[in-house]
Structures are given as C-alpha cells and as structure tokens.
Amino acid sequence: MKLEQQDITLTKLDRNASMPYELLLLADPSKELVDSYLHQSQIFIASKKEEVLGVIVLLPLSDEIIEIKNIAVKPPFQKLGIGSFLIENAIQVATGGEYKSICIGTANSSIGQIYLYQKLGFELSEIKNNFFISNYPDPIYENGIQAKHMLVFTKIL
Ligand code: COA
C-alpha cells in the first residue's frame, strides 16, 4: 500500500534547526561527512503528523548542477512512495532554481536505489572507481555485493 501524498507534509528545514541524524546516517554512515555538507545545503523533511519519515539534502555543485547528497526514509515507511515523493520535489526545486541538471551518487551494490533513480528518469553519467574502498575504513556489503564504486546518476532538466 502506498501512502497518499496528501497525508505527507513537506517542510524546508532551517539550517540551524535540529537535524534528523538517525535518518541522515542511514544514507551516509559518516556524521563527519554529513556535517561537512549540511550547512551549504537545502534540507527538506517529509512528515506525517509530527513524525519525521524522510529527509532529502540538496547541495549545489555549481550554478548549473545540484546534487542530492542524502536521501533517507525511516525503515518501516520505506517502499511506500516517500523516497519518490522527496526526489520529485527535489526535481521541482532544481527546476525552479534554474539548474540544468540534478545528480545523485550511489554504490554499485545499492540495487534498489539504482532501480529507483532510473525509474525517476536519472541516467548513469559517471563511475567513480573504488570510491567506497578509498573513502570508508571498513568494507561495506549490501545485497551480497561489496560496495566498491560510486555510480553517479544524472537527470537533465
Ligand atoms: N530494494 C528494492 N526496491 C526498492 C528499494 C530497495 N532497497 N528501495 C526502493 N525500492 C523501489 C520500491 O519498491 C518502489 O518500486 P515500485 O515503484 O516499482 O513500487 C520504488 O523503488 C520507489 O520506492 P519509494 O517507496 O519511493 O522509495 P523509499 O521511500 O523506499 O525510499 C530510499 C528509497 C533509498 C530513500 C530508502 O530505501 C532508504 O532510506 N534507504 C536507506 C538510505 C539510502 O540508502 N539512501 C540512499 C543513499 S544513495
């Protein structure tokens, strides 16, 4: 069953508001890395009543490109359409901000994410070889596959 979009409230967070770290760290386990981009980003949360269910973080890379640096949905609420809703909103924000493209990076092992981003019109644009091996202290496995490379998906606006 999908959540109805009218049940979900989207709010832009003030940069000095309290951040939903338990969600942000689901997508990026390094708090240090998360903190390195939060203060330059636009942060949106999806909530139902008072409960925060999802977050998306948008960081401009230039006047033309904006990156989804972080997206996460609370595990019991995943696969209900909230991630898609957050990405569709990010596409609107990027279009309104006159960016020419929006991108997102994910691991070669993140099968669901690779599916989701392509379903929403993003296309593989770059592979950062060995990114996860070089940037994280411990090996990361998902779906029985080692996360080695970062795949960058881009949607031209
Ligand atoms: N495995 C398989 N399919 C998945 C999936 C997964 N892990 N995550 C999403 N999908 C599919 C859904 O089944 C759905 O398919 P359908 O449209 O054919 O029914 C589609 O993708 C859209 O899913 P949606 O419900 O909009 O996404 P979501 O709310 O589950 O959010 C994430 C997606 C990635 C944000 C969420 O799974 C999450 O928070 N993951 C942990 C953090 C993370 O990995 N962030 C991304 C870092 S790159």
pLDDT higher than 80, residue 1: no
Quick check: CB of 57 below 6 Å from ligand 1? no
Cα 90 from Cα 31, distance rounded (Å): 22
| Ligand 1: centre distance to CA 77 (Å) | 10
Query: What is the separation of C-alpha 75 from the centre of its chain, rounded to a whole number of angstroms?
Result: 15
Instruction: Assess whether pLDDT exceeds 80 at residue 2.
Output: no
Q: Average pLDDT, stretch 117-123? A: 98
Judge whether residue 113 has pLDDT over 70: yes
Task: Please report the atom of ligand 1 found closest to the CA of residue 77.
Answer: 29
> Distance of CA 153 to CAs 67, 97, 103, 107, 147, Å?
10, 19, 5, 11, 16
Confidence of residue 15 (pLDDT cuts 50, 70, 90): confident
Q: DSSP alpha helices (H): ranges in the chain? A: 21-27, 31-38, 82-96, 111-119, 131-135
pLDDT in tens, 66-88: 999 999 999 999 999 999 999 99
Pocket probe mutation, ligand 1, options 73, 88, 122, 150, max atoms within 8 Å of Cβ: 73
Share of residues in the chain with pLDDT > 70 (%): 98
Atom of ligand 1 nearest to the CA of 28: 47
Ligand 1 atom showing the smallest separation from residue 72 Cα: 39
Residue 107 CB–ligand 1 contact under 6 Å: no
What pLDDT sits at residue 62?
A: 97
Q: Which of residues 25 and 1 earns the better pLDDT score?
A: 25
Q: Which residues contact 97 (CB under 8 A, 6 or more apart)?
A: 60, 66
Answer positive or negative: Cα dihedral of 59, 117, 112, 54: positive
Q: Which residue puts its alpha carbon closest to atom 5 of ligand 1?
A: 112
